[in-house]
Amino acid sequence: AANGIVWATVLGLLPDKIGNDFRSRYQAKFGQQPGWANAGGCYDSVNVWAAGVAKAGDPKNYKAVAKATESVIWRGTTGSISFVDHTGVQFPAGTADASLGQPHIIVQIQDGVQKVVSPAPFTSGTFVLPSWMR
């Protein structure tokens, strides 16, 4: 019934080696697949925070941790996470470099399977015009 539906997220678990490795580990630990956003997004957020703490040296020095995250570039399950003025950089709107921005992915349900149709290089399928739009 949902065939052809398109949805989007700026916090999507990518269908690449890093994302798929996370899916496998999550499945092994919890007995089910993670959702498209929250599990991977939380995992990445904790890793970015930990990288900021490592640079700042003190997890309770919140200002130093916040400042340190400005220099973190973390390639996680949801793409590359980096910040400018404490704002996450998006790919492709905020940067043309996929290694510096978190992709805003566009997903289409095709024959019951969710396929990332944009942006490259994170695609797992191509957009198919639904029959109800022809």
Rg, Å, the chain Cα set = 17
Q: What's this model's pTM, rounded to 2 decimal places?
A: 0.88
Distance CA 77, CA 11 (A): 9
* pLDDT single digits (tens) 75-129: 999 999 999 998 999 999 999 999 999 999 999 999 999 999 999 999 999 999 9
Distance CA 44, CA 125 (A): 24
| pLDDT tops 90 at residue 9 | yes
**Structure token digits, residue 95:** 């940067």
pLDDT of residue 131: 86
Element (H, E) at 108: strand 105-110
- What architecture is the 13-103 domain classified under in CATH? 3-Layer(aba) Sandwich (3.40)
3 state SS of 124: coil
* pLDDT single digits (tens) 17-27: 999 999 999 99
Residue at token pair 């991977």: 40
Backbone torsions φ then ψ of 125, nearest 5 degrees: -175, 180
Q: Please report, as a single letter, which amino acid is at residue 72.
A: V
| pLDDT tops 70 at residue 1 | no
